[in-house]
């Protein structure tokens, strides 16, 4: 990135002291957690394709024995799934992360609030369905759509990503609502 | 750990969980005064507002916008409001017809097409790379 142009630099009559950059926590440390567990959780979140314990150890900046232990623990918790046995490879378990977020939605919102959020996301999704004239973002070929619609690949990619995000949110909200009413129904049955 | 050339061209949802972790880490850091996520229940993007003490008076505000996707794609956008101008710089990983998947839209106005680049594979290294480059620019304001 370019250095600022001279006319932007602080001059002599600048009030206040120059900041002490050297006193800041280094960027490398800021983006990492403080504990071994954070390193392995970060590594697990980054596993968008199957990885071995030694690859995960590299990602975490920790030893391979610790990587094996954490992966086994994460697999029991559902954070990663075992993809192959020999060699053992693991991948991030998106289903678990979705489940965790659904629990959070149920804790933080009432059914009425969830319904309002769901309505908004559903309207967004309908907008994309109209715009692309197909039923699902997976049916869109980004490059083909870009050339056919005279838009840039980047613009179409942004819309398809936003569409997939809206669908992910709808799934989470619907699950939070379904399990909520399911619990209520169970309670009524029990009474 | 390598990613196929084709799978990312289909796009992916925003990675809410990765953004949650990033928000947690950056909100403990004194570089930023505020981190907004523009969503009630799952972040759209993180808007990380820099503390003004890193800038001279003629810079009004500066922020880093962070979006990450489940397939590892991302866009990091640094934006500076000066008295009369703006400065924008973007680090990207996503399909485009102007550059390779990894690319940079350099300042002052984040021009398209940008420059092809090779960003680190690990998301934490990508993020710290951007923070380091921003800090180098901030130091440049005080070099006189």
pLDDT in tens, A76-110: 999 999 999 999 999 999 999 999 999 999 999 99
Instruction: Tell me whether residues A9 and B135 touch, CB distance under 8 A.
Output: no
> What is the 3-state secondary structure of chain A?
CCCCCHHHCCCCCCCCCCCCHHHCCCHHHHCCCCCHHHHHHHHHHCCCCCEEHHHHHHHHCCCHHHHHHHHHHHHHHCCEEEEECCCCEEEECHHHHHHHHHHHHHHHCCHHHHHHHHHHHHHHHHHHHHHHCCCCHHHCCHHHHHHHHCCCHHHHHHHHHHHHHHHHHHHHHHHHHHHHHHHHHHHHHHC
How far apart are the CA of A155 and the nearest CA of chain B, in angstroms?
Answer: 9
User: B92 has which bridge partners?
Assistant: B75, B103
Stretch B48-57: mean pLDDT, rounded? 95
Side-chain-side CA neighbours of residue A117 (13 Å): 25
Is the pLDDT reported for residue B4 higher than 70?
no
B33 interface with A at CB cutoff 8 Å: no
Query: What is the C-alpha separation between A115 and B29, in angstroms, rounded?
Result: 36
Stretch B84-111: mean pLDDT, rounded? 94
Which is it for the CA torsion A43, A45, A46, A51, positive or negative? positive
Stretch B29-50: mean pLDDT, rounded? 93
pTM: 0.89
Instruction: Tell me whether residues A31 and B127 touch, CB distance under 8 A.
Output: yes
Supply the pLDDT for residue A186.
47
Is the pLDDT reported for residue B1 higher than 80?
no
Using an 8 Å CB-CB cutoff, list chain A residues near B106.
1-2
- Among A9, A31, A143, beta carbon nearest to B25: A31
Query: What is the C-alpha separation between B110 and B143, in angstroms, rounded?
Result: 24
> What is the 3-state secondary structure of chain B?
CCCCCCHHHHCCCECHHHHHHHHHHHHCCCCEEEEECCCCCCCCCEEEEECHHHCCCCEEEEEEEEEEECCCCEEEEEEEEECCCEEEEEEEECCCCCCCCEEEECCCECCCCCEECCCCCCHHHHHHHHHHHHHHHHHHCCCC
How far apart are the CA of B88 and the nearest CA of chain A, in angstroms?
Answer: 10
What ipTM was assigned to the predicted interfaces of this complex? Answer: 0.90
How far apart are the CA of A131 and the nearest CA of chain B, in angstroms?
Answer: 17
Using an 8 Å CB-CB cutoff, list chain A residues near B70.
48, 94
Supply the pLDDT for residue A181.
56
B120 interface with A at CB cutoff 8 Å: no
B140 interface with A at CB cutoff 8 Å: yes
Question: What is the per-residue pLDDT across B7-36, written as a single tens digit (0 to 9) for each?
Answer: 447 899 999 999 999 999 999 999 999 999
Query: What is the C-alpha separation between A94 and B64, in angstroms, rounded?
Result: 27
Instruction: Tell me whether residues A3 and B9 touch, CB distance under 8 A.
Output: no
How far apart are the CA of A156 and the nearest CA of chain B, in angstroms?
Answer: 9
Successive 10-residue mean pLDDT values, chain A, 191 residues: 80 77 94 89 88 94 95 95 95 92 94 96 97 94 92 95 97 89 48 39
Instruction: Tell me whether residues A168 and B14 touch, CB distance under 8 A.
Output: yes
Residue B68, C-beta contacts closer than 8 angstroms, at least 6 positions apart = B14, B15, B18, B19, B22, B74, B123
Instruction: Tell me whether residues A152 and B54 touch, CB distance under 8 A.
Output: no
B7 interface with A at CB cutoff 8 Å: no
How far apart are the CA of A89 and the nearest CA of chain B, in angstroms?
Answer: 11
Side-chain-side CA neighbours of residue B75 (13 Å): 19
Chain A stretch 110-129, residues whose beta carbon is closer than 8 A to a beta carbon of chain B:
117
Supply the pLDDT for residue A183.
53
Percent of chain B at pLDDT > 90 equals 76
Supply the pLDDT for residue A106.
95
Q: Say if strands A80-84 and A89-92 run parallel, antiparallel, or are unpaired.
A: antiparallel
Q: Are B92 and B104 in contact (CB under 8 A)?
A: yes
> What is the 3-state secondary structure of A145-191?
HHHHHCCCHHHHHHHHHHHHHHHHHHHHHHHHHHHHHHHHHHHHHHC
B138 interface with A at CB cutoff 8 Å: yes
Supply the pLDDT for residue B144.
61
Using an 8 Å CB-CB cutoff, list chain B residues near A18.
142
- Vertex A128 angle, CA A121 and B110, to 5°: 95
A136 interface with B at CB cutoff 8 Å: no
């Amino acid at each position: 990135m370019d250095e600022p142009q001279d006319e932007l630099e602080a001059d002599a009559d600048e009030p206040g002291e120059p900041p002490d950059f050297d006193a800041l926590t280094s960027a490398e440390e800021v983006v990492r957690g403080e504990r071994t567990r954070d390193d392995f959780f970060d590594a697990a979140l980054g596993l968008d394709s199957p990885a071995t314990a030694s690859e995960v150890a590299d990602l975490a900046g920790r030893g391979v024995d610790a990587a094996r232990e954490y992966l086994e623990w994460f697999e029991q918790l559902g954070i990663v799934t075992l993809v192959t046995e020999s060699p053992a490879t693991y991948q991030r378990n998106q289903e678990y992360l979705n489940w965790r977020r659904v629990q959070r939605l149920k804790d933080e919102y009432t059914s009425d609030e969830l319904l309002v959020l769901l309505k908004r996301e559903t309207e967004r999704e309908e907008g994309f369905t109209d715009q692309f004239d197909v039923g699902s973002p997976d049916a869109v070929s980004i490059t083909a759509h870009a050339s056919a619609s005279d838009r840039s690949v980047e613009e179409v990619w942004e819309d398809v990503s936003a569409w997939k995000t809206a669908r992910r949110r709808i799934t989470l909200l619907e699950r939070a609502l379904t399990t909520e009413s399911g619990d209520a129904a169970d309670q009524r049955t029990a009474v | 750990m390598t990613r196929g050339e084709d799978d990312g061209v289909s796009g992916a949802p925003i990675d809410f969980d990765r953004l949650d972790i990033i928000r947690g880490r950056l909100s403990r850091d004194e570089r930023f005064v505020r981190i907004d996520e523009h969503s009630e229940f799952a972040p759209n993007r993180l808007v990380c507002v820099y503390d003004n003490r890193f800038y001279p008076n003629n810079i009004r505000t500066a922020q880093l916008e962070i979006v990450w996707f489940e397939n590892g794609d991302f866009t990091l956008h640094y934006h500076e409001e000066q008295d009369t101008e703006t400065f924008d710089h973007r680090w990207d990983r996503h399909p485009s017809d102007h550059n390779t998947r990894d690319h940079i839209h350099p300042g002052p106005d984040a021009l398209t097409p940008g420059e092809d680049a090779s960003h680190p594979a690990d998301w934490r290294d990508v993020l710290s790379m951007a923070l380091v480059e921003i800090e180098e620019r901030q130091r440049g304001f005080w070099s006189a």
